[in-house]
Amino acid sequence: MANSGLQMLGFVLALIGCIGLIVGTIMPQWKMSAYVGDNIITAIAMYQGLWMSCAYQSTGQMQCKVYDSILQLDSALQATRALMVLSIILTVIGMGVSSMGMKCTNCGGDDKVRKARIATVGGVVFLLGGLASMIACCWFANRIVRDFYNPLTPVNTKYEFGAAIFIAWAGSFLVLLGGALMSCSCHRRNSGGAKTKYPPSKGRPVSSTGKDYV
């Protein structure tokens, strides 16, 4: 029988992870300017996100500019943006499916086996959503590391990890964990199996001496 506590824990973790994915996707701090080299200028900090780039001044003012054209962006940024949006959509769908299969709801009917299977499907959708966002974050992080250690990259254009990518990583982990807990709460039948019931015999009773009763 499905464990309602395990289902609730998985759903809450996936919900928190979905919020983290949304916040991380919107934030512009996916990568920030790295202060390396001899001439370090700290008056302006540059941030780049999936949707805009920002300049933060030492006076506390931040100016952001949305990317003008999608086609002008590099392929890594386009793929990361697409995977993060896909991950959020899958996570939202997973929450809808899981809520129908959880024991504490009445949306999926009274059949416990069917509700457990629906909850398992929701957990699988969570896993797909978390996997998509994890691939996007790791891909983007790998691009930052490669550009940072590339000797041909100018010093004033080197970037390091920003706060948004860590938030997205945490959200991906929570969605994956929630999906795993939701999937593990599936209905399990008795390992010994149900005993086979045979229909009662319709023949005439036989006495202990082997003779039929009249």
How many Å apart are CA 214 and CA 208, to the nearest integer? 14
pLDDT tens column, 199-208: 555 555 555 5
Sheet containing strand 159-161, edge to edge, reads 62-66, 52-57, 44-48, 31-33, 159-161
Which tokens go with 67?
């990317």
Q: Is the dihedral of CA 48, 49, 55, 60 positive or negative?
A: negative
The DSSP string of 87-114 is HHHHHHHHHHHHHHHSTT--TT-S-HHH
Contact status, residue 122 vs residue 98, Cβ threshold 8 Å: yes
- Cα–Cα distances in Å, from 181 out to 4, 10, 89, 111, 119? 11, 5, 20, 21, 10
Q: How confident is the model at residue 213 (pLDDT cuts 50, 70, 90)?
A: very low
Q: What single DSSP character describes residue 69?
A: -
Displacement of CA 50 from its chain's centroid (Å): 18
Q: For 156-198, write each residue's pLDDT tens digit.
A: 778 889 899 999 999 999 999 999 988 887 644 434 444 444 4
**pLDDT per residue as tens digits for the range 7-66:** 888 899 999 999 999 999 999 889 888 776 554 556 678 888 899 888 887 777 888 888
The Cα 97–Cα 114 span in angstroms is 12
| CA dihedral sign of residues 32, 36, 37, 39 | positive
User: How many Å apart are CA 65 and CA 158, to the nearest integer?
Assistant: 19
**Cβ(91)–Cβ(140) below 8 Å:** no
Going by pLDDT thresholds of 50, 70 and 90, the confidence category of residue 85 is very high
Q: Supply 66's token pair.
A: 């949305």
Confidence of residue 140 (pLDDT cuts 50, 70, 90): very high
Position 44 scores a pLDDT of 74
